[in-house]
Amino acid sequence: MLSFKNVSVVYEKGEAPALNNINLEIKPEEFVCVLGRSGAGKSTFIRTVNGLQTPTDGRVTVLGNELNCLKEKRLRKLRSEIGMIFQHFHLIPRMSVEQNVYTGRFGQRPVWKNMLGLFSEEEKRLTDSYLREVGLYEFRGRRVERLSGGQKQRVGIARAMVQEPSILLGDEPVASLDPTTSDHIFQLLKSLHLKRKLTTVINVHDIELAEKFATRIIGLQNGEIVFNGTPSEMTKTDLQHIYK
């Protein structure tokens, strides 16, 4: 599903690599949490999966496509298979919940249809169904700027899901939320993951959330994988190593 072969990312010549010779396979339907200190390379890792960051060395293969070899059109098509959620939501504050969710379809439609705001019955049905699933159907007409952080992240999740992705990526999606809301968001992510048979990869700072929800944990330190195993395999020593 996802494969990293000797992948390194160096942002500035002469500086330490943000990712250093990563070798990794992620299989379909895994729920992977990536742990690591600030600056360990978690965001860089996620960004290499959807082609937002090009590796300096090595090969990233996603759904059988080697990213380096893809032309813009194929990359765009592949990205429509990859939903993404963010720490700061990346929503359009003055637009409604529903309109924000519709933008998840933009990558799969001609630009003129997006500009005219024309959506098919199928797209409307999909949007309504995900708004119900994330618990925001009653709020569909409300401007996003009038929502709480947890509600905003639910909009972000619905927007990612209307793409009907097979891969869901999260770059610290709960870092701005309180512990209870974070747990609720993870419960939602896990239920979508199971129901839609997603392959999910999420960066998270909260060790307890990773232990509770992940099927596999990857620990990064200084751009290298220092732990790769199930939550039950992760010992205190492993954690000390990740957060050293």
Ligand X SMILES: Nc1ncnc2c1ncn2[C@@H]1O[C@H](COP(=O)(O)OP(=O)(O)OP(=O)(O)O)[C@@H](O)[C@H]1O
Residue ranges binding ligand X (CB under 6 A) = 11-12, 18, 36, 38-44
Shortest Cβ distance from residue 242 to ligand X (Å)? 11
Residue 220 pairs in a beta bridge with 225
Helix (H, G, I), strand (E, B) or coil at 170: strand
Q: How far is CA 7 from CA 145, 155, 191, in A?
A: 39, 33, 31
What lies within 8 Å, CB to CB, of 116 at 6+ separation is none
Nearer to ligand X, 41 or 173 (CB): 41
Nearer to ligand X, 106 or 243 (CB): 243
Kind and range of the H or E element at 192? Answer: helix 179-195
> Strand 2-9 vs strand 57-62: parallel, antiparallel, or unpaired?
antiparallel
Tell the smallest beta-carbon distance from residue 39 to ligand X (Å): 4
Q: Which is nearer to ligand X, 38 or 240 (CB)?
A: 38
CB of 121 to ligand X, least distance (A): 40
Of 38 and 232, the one with the shorter C-beta distance to ligand X is 38
Cβ nearer to ligand X, comparing 44 with 100: 44
Alpha helices (runs of H) in 5-136, residue ranges in sequence order = 42-49, 72-79, 97-102, 111-116, 121-133
C-alpha dist (Å) from residue 89 to 115, 122, 221, 241: 22, 25, 26, 31
Residue closer to ligand X (CB basis): 16 or 118? 16
- Nearer to ligand X by C-beta: 41 or 104? 41
In angstroms, give the least distance from the CB of 194 to ligand X.
27
Q: Give the integer Cα–Cα distance in Å for 70 and 37.
A: 32
Dist. CA 104–CA 102, nearest whole Å:
5
| Shortest Å, Cβ 21 to ligand X | 15
Residue with tokens 């429509």: 80
**In angstroms, what is the minimal distance from the CB of 227 to ligand X?**
14
Q: Taking the complex as a whole, how short is the minimal distance between the CB of residue 70 and ligand X, in angstroms?
A: 22
Q: Please say whether the beta carbons of 130 and 154 come within 8 A.
A: no
